[in-house]
Structure 1
């Protein structure tokens, strides 16, 4: 974590991909560029940490949010050229390089997305527009459980509908933690395995058992995603 900048968070490609629910190799392609039809495609966006300064790809928290939304669009079979066009148009409107993780996109996202997808002839995008809208069905759920400040996304509550497990770039380098305590969910899972029970860990670390169970639930969710 020596390269971490305060308040940005830091994740390796495998860590970020695990949280988003995608393959690390795919995430690297988005951030480093890729070859397609005998030409090299530029990265979809620049990561917060310059790849030239690191041995591998490192992401910040805002990158994590961008990846989450792009991954949701790809899950609906929307092509990368279309997504690239959407991101470029959104950059022009929002005025930031990572447009999907901005406060403006959170506030005016539906209007912005209607504008940036106008005249795009992506078949899957057209189908989504005909039923409920691509923003409501695909993008809005990826913005759920995020807290935004003036500069953009600041916090991600990792268990939907709960405020117990969080990724916050101001705490633990953005790693998933128990919000009330600050202990990482990975450390909680290791402790439970070592001690043999939730009750023992709760006593040792003076944690509420329900918080430990939530941490274990999140770690289990990551394992399920990885196995899928």
Structure 2
């Protein structure tokens, strides 16, 4: 069993799946590998990357960077990019960037169909590489794909999971990475619980936690978005 560590974040496969929009089974397969049999001997698929907490099949945990890697994989799968391509590109990116979590680095880019890695070339100019073909691409046409991340030292450190809002944040330095409202630091799950207990009163929740009503509404929108709160 792994114990959560401050600054790394801690998510079960079920929690991570809800946050990134996939199943806990997929999360387990991506991070811990799996075996299958198809017209012959059993075949083992290795994990896509080494989890921050290591491998513990009984009670596995993901760190924050694992969560962001899984988020990228889930989004890439949603637009039809196959697992062999994702696996190949992730391995290539990890080698080029010298980072075991390249999809949660500031260097990763995608145009929705292809995967790229940006680095500084020998001339000091931006060098963008197509991770599947290893061909160079044009930097001007490739923008950062996910603008809801904050980076420090080229690594993702904070995620704002609510579209077009910065009121909900996942930050491994706060509440072990659980989604919280930025102003006040109250977990969104706790806000949803109290909201139901207080007769669905936004005013009452804002008063109890001493936070803005907009923060309460943002938390409730997020909890509804991930399926933890049903609309009235």
2:31 is aligned with 1:28: no
Query: Partner of 1:214: helix, strand, or coil?
Result: helix
Matched, 1:188 2:191: yes
Q: 1:205 to 1:2 in 2, by over 3 A?
A: farther
Matched residues, number: 207
Give me the TM-score of the superposition, normalised by structure 2. Answer: 0.81
Q: 1:207 — aligned with what?
A: 211
Map 1:44-63 to 2 at 5 A. Answer: 44-52=48-56, 55-63=58-66
- The separation in 2 between residues aligned to 1:32 and 1:2, in whole angstroms, is 14
**TM-score where L is the length of structure 1:** 0.82
Name stretches of at least 5 consecutive residues in structure 1 with no aligned partner. 121-128
Question: 2:133 maps to which residue?
Answer: 118
Q: CA RMSD in A?
A: 2.7
What corresponds to 2:124 in structure 1?
Answer: none
> Helix, strand or coil for the counterpart of 2:226?
helix
Q: CA deviation at 1:79?
A: 1.8
Structure-1 separation of matches of 2:229 and 2:98: 34
Question: Is residue 100 from structure 1 mapped to residue 115 from structure 2 by the alignment?
Answer: no
Given that residues 164 and 211 in structure 1 are in contact (C-alpha distance below 8 angstroms), is that contact kept between their aligned partners in structure 2? yes
Greater length-normalized contact order (CA 8 Å, ≥ 6 residues apart)? 1
Higher helix proportion, which one?
A: 1
Are the aligned partners of 2:105 and 2:154 in contact in 1 as well (CA < 8 Å)? Answer: yes
Deviations along 1:21-70, whole A, 9 cap, x unmatched? Answer: 00100110111112244310101111111124x73221000001100111
Find the partner of 1:75 among 78, 82, 102: 78
**Contact 1:168-1:175 at 8 Å conserved across structures:** yes
Answer 1 or 2: which has greater strand percent.
Answer: 2
